[in-house]
Amino acid sequence: MTLNCQQLHEQLQNLSKLKVQFDAALEAGDVKAAEGASELLERCVSELFEQTAPSSCKVTFSDPETHLESEIDIDIESALYSFANLYVGKLDLEIDYEKVRDIWRRNYREIKREMAKYGYSRLLIVPDDLPDEATLNQKLVETGFRHQAGRLEPVHKTHQYAEFKVGGSFQGLRSPEEAKYRLILTHRTDNVHHNQWANPFLKATLGKGLDFISSLNLEEINRRVEQGEKIPVNFEVQINGSTYPVRAEGLSLKTYLLLQGVCERESWTHLDTQGSTWLPGSFSGPRIVFAFWNEDSARFEINAGHPSLSDDVLACRFGKSFE
């Protein structure tokens, strides 16, 4: 809930009273009362911040590999405008603006920390009624265009590899994701492979199997795939002599299709034209989905592999979700 001026004034008055109580308890030497007032004061400040968080989140990300600093700015109102147009125009969906703003306000400080820590530079707004993967593929990806030789050309139908088809194609997909409103932080990196300027934490996943990316053994990964349980992104990487832990969530095919559609809408470009990405949030039979954009064939391509699979061009896009 957004506070109006009167409500904000009342909240500030309440904080002033609590501060007076805290000071009085300290002066009287009543440690227990002072601790109680302090805890209540901290809780009220935290709740007030959640209700008044700014629409823009600005951080400075220091790349541990290059030591270069970059300014990142994500604005929830701009994101709402953009996604509302996308969802209405392509999927005939309406966004619950207040629900999205509430998630933003409640998680603002953690969003800011994650952006500064991992260089997240893109925000996805995911509603609880996002269509299934087949629909997203048809309406967001196959209806798109690409910029070729100075003109726009329609893209071709998505190609499905045999390993994906044997798992039941779109109809056979399984995902531990729940249908609920979420904000997802991810990266604007177009390509991880053959890109020296790619986010260093994304580059750390290149050529790695999911056992490295998740820090789970293959037996446990296979069990989770069979049971439809989440596979985390949970690894450590050495960069310039320092160890960096990465704790995140792998994208699903549904989220990745949305991301491809967003990129095409913004700039007529596509993700992963030089390599491919694991999508640990989507299972196809006993396999885990990975995908990429084939620029030569002008089409999206979906495959699936066992978690032990590794390839020099295969990375893992990840993000952080907030509910």
Which pLDDT score, from 0 to 100, does residue 83 have?
A: 98
Same domain, 214 and 149: yes
* Domain, as residue range, for 181: 56-322
Q: Are residues 88 and 137 in the same domain?
A: yes
- Does residue 253 share a domain with residue 174? yes
Q: What is the pLDDT of residue 68?
A: 97
284 and 172 share one domain: yes
DSSP string computed for 158-192: PEE-HHHHTTTGGGGEE----SS-EEEEE---S-S
On whether both 64 and 44 belong to a single domain, the answer is no
Q: Which long-range contacts (CB under 8 A, 24 or more apart) does 93-96 make?
A: 93/127, 93/129, 93/130, 95/125, 95/127, 96/127, 96/181
314 strand-pairing partners: 276
Residue 278: other Cβ atoms inside 10 A? 28
286 neighbors 165 (Cβ within 8 angstroms): no
Question: Does 26 lie in the same domain as 94?
Answer: no
Do 129 and 226 fall into the same domain? yes
> How high is the pLDDT of residue 31?
75
263 shares its domain with 244: yes
Please give the structure tokens belonging to residue 160: 């499905």
- Are 26 and 79 contained in the same domain? no
Question: Which pTM was predicted?
Answer: 0.85
My answer on whether 36 and 120 are in the same domain is: no
Same structural domain for residues 158 and 18?
no
In single-letter form, the type of residue at position 216 comes to L
Do strands 56-62 and 69-75 pair parallel, antiparallel, or not at all (unpaired)?
A: antiparallel
Question: How far is 142 from 125, CA to CA, in rounded Å?
Answer: 21
CA distance 88 to 200: 35
Q: Which of 18, 34, 52 is the last residue in one of the domains?
A: 52
pLDDT reported for residue 12: 63
Place of tokens 């996805």: 124
For residue 116, what is the enclosing H or E element?
helix 97-118
Residue 28: predicted pLDDT = 81
* Alpha-carbon separation of residue 256 from 40, 138, 261, 290 (angstroms): 42, 14, 8, 10
Please indicate, yes or no, whether residues 16 and 77 belong to a single structural domain of this protein.
no
Say how far apart CA 310 and CA 308 lie, in whole Å. Answer: 6
How many residues make up the chain in this entry?
A: 323
User: Comparing C-alpha atoms, which of 39, 320, 21 is closest to residue 185?
Assistant: 320
Domains of the chain: total: 2
Q: Can you give the pLDDT at residue 8?
A: 52
Question: pLDDT tens, position by position, for the chain (323 residues)?
Answer: 455 556 555 666 666 776 777 788 777 877 777 678 677 766 665 555 556 689 999 999 999 999 999 999 999 999 999 999 999 999 999 999 999 999 999 999 999 999 999 999 999 999 999 999 999 999 999 999 988 888 999 999 999 999 999 999 999 999 999 999 999 999 999 999 999 999 999 999 999 999 999 999 999 999 999 999 999 999 999 999 999 999 999 999 999 999 999 999 998 999 999 999 999 999 999 999 999 999 999 999 999 999 999 999 999 999 999 99
| First-to-last C-alpha distance (Å) of the chain | 15
The token pair that represents 295 in the structure block? 């620029």
Domain boundary among 16, 37, 52: 52
